[in-house]
Amino acid sequence: MNKPLSGKLALVTGGSRGIGRAISIKLASLGAKVLVNYSSSPDAADETVRNCVEAGGEAEALGFSVGDSAAVDQAFDGIKEKYGKIDILVNNAGISRDGLFIRMRDEDWHKTLDINLNGSFYCARAAAKLMLKAKQGAIINISSVVGEMGNGGQVPYVSSKAGLLGLTKAMARELASRSITVNAITPGFIRTDMTDALDEKLKVEHLKAIPLSRYGEPSEVASLVAFLAGPEAAYITGQVIGINGGMYM
């Protein structure tokens, strides 16, 4: 089997479940050694590691909070000491604190931005220092369709995901001269444990907004990530690529 990512080291933040798990498994199956980041679910991260091994790859769990700048730097110091490099960074970790913005608590606003936007910045900054020395690398930021189109009741989440798009474009310009690509993916409704638990009437309403009339699969997002991380995407940078079934065009 062709393994285009053989010899590559990838870090997937929020890799213990859902889309992050699918991304970790896909990258591992293509030959990358995957560091599965988690913050508070070591058992789930260990399960992802087992899934990666079952897919014919290598992986290990790596616990730290992306929203803690010092913890991120410490984790990357450990990566540098053990591996001496990082080839692929997937900024996938994210949370949502939903509700009307006029009632939103300061702590919910700050927590969402700390994980979704600041965390991506901290990890990208640390990874870029290693990538710059190697003069190669791929950074992929998992944003959201709502970061492009907006969504009521999700002001902190939408703001953080929209911020990722600007972060992506600015970093892409700074890092391009060293052959480091930076791109963003904006998933729409993707089938996960969270969407599976939704009320059936709500699912029907969601599907009405999707021209393809179905939720996306985590594996479909993972395949797009794998493409952007691979050699065939070496001339793609600074792009925002939607995977949303047509709900935003």
Digit-coded pLDDT (tens) for 225-243: 999 999 999 999 999 999 9
pLDDT of residue 19: 97
pLDDT per residue over 76-107, tens digit each? 999 999 999 999 999 999 999 999 999 999 99
Residue 157 appears among annotated catalytic residues: yes
Contact of 226 with 30, CB cutoff 8 Å: yes
pLDDT of residue 163: 98
Whole-angstrom distance, CA of residue 26 vs CA of residue 211: 27
pLDDT of residue 200: 85
pLDDT of residue 239: 98
Average pLDDT across the chain, whole number: 96
Of 73-77, 150-154, 220-224, the range with the lowest mean pLDDT is: 150-154
180: helix, strand or coil: strand
For residue 1, what pLDDT band results from cuts at 50, 70 and 90? Answer: low
Contact of 73 with 4, CB cutoff 8 Å: no
For range 182-194, the mean pLDDT = 92
For residue 206, what pLDDT band results from cuts at 50, 70 and 90? Answer: confident
pLDDT per residue over 36-69, tens digit each? 999 999 999 999 999 999 999 999 999 999 999 9
For range 117-130, the mean pLDDT = 98
pLDDT per residue over 147-178, tens digit each? 999 999 999 999 999 999 999 999 999 999 99
Residue 221, C-beta contacts closer than 8 angstroms, at least 6 positions apart: 19, 22, 23, 142, 185, 187, 190, 243
Q: What's the pTM value of the predicted model, to 2 decimals?
A: 0.97
Q: Containing H/E element for 146?
A: helix 146-149
Half-sphere exposure of 68 (CA within 13 A, CB side): 10
For range 129-133, the mean pLDDT = 98
Q: Does domain 9-191+219-238 sit in CATH 1.10.730.10?
A: no
User: Which one of 38, 83, 122, 157 is the catalytic residue?
Assistant: 157
Domain ranges of the chain: 9-191+219-238
